[in-house]
Amino acid sequence: VKCSACEARLPAYLDNDCSPREAEAVAQHLASCAACRAQTERLRAVESQLARMRGIEPHADFTLAVMARVAAMPAPAKQGVRPWLLLVYVPAAWAALFALFATRVLSWQGVTTGSSVFAGKLGVAGQALYHVGQHFNVASMVTSGAALEIALLALAIAVARIYIGHLPGWASGARA
Ligand SMILES: [Zn+2]
């Protein structure tokens, strides 16, 4: 038996957890190898120390004490709504959109075609929402909200079409 094989079997050997043949092989190696005998002593020492350890039990009121400390900690400050973020976001989004058109990553024809499909889906979703609203007697509120949204959307599309129509070909993404 080599040292590596002996070392691998040592824990089982010390626990009397290996076959008689293996135990015999380990015992023979230990008789002739001082290094592995020293290793055996170290393992025995660790095992006897582990056997003397006791489990650590927390205080009876440990959970209560922790929760009391948590309750005493300062609450994190609430994040207020920051409207100026919107003022930054909207121009940034438009700038990004324009850059995409200018670099022809997007073509506005594709976007308007896509948006009419989207509008169709929106109509179906709107109808479903209307029926839900009707059920809860808030139909008029839902309708006026949706009408406002649709009016704003239509205005945005109309403005975008006129504006994009006046752009030079390279910017509108039109292909020659
Ligand atoms: Zn050895």
Q: What is the pLDDT of residues 24-67, one digit of tens each?
A: 999 999 999 999 999 999 999 998 888 888 777 888 888 889 98
The answer to whether 163 touches 98, Cβ cutoff 8 Å, is no
Calpha distance 171→158 (Å, rounded): 18
Q: How far apart are CA 116 and CA 155, in angstroms?
A: 14
Q: What predicted TM-score, i.e. pTM, was given to this entire model? A: 0.32
User: For 66-90, how does the pLDDT look when each residue is reduced to its tens digit (9 = 90+)?
Assistant: 989 988 988 877 666 666 777 777 7
What is the whole-number distance in angstroms between the Cα of residue 17 and the centre of ligand 1?
19
Kindly state the tokens that stand for 144.
């006026």
Ligand 1 mean position, distance from CA 6 (Å): 6
C-alpha 53 to ligand 1 mean position (Å):
30
Residue that has been written with the tokens 């006897």 in this structure: 48
Taking the centre of ligand 1 as the mean of its atom positions, its distance from the CA of residue 12, in whole angstroms, is 16
CB 129 within 8 A of CB 142: yes
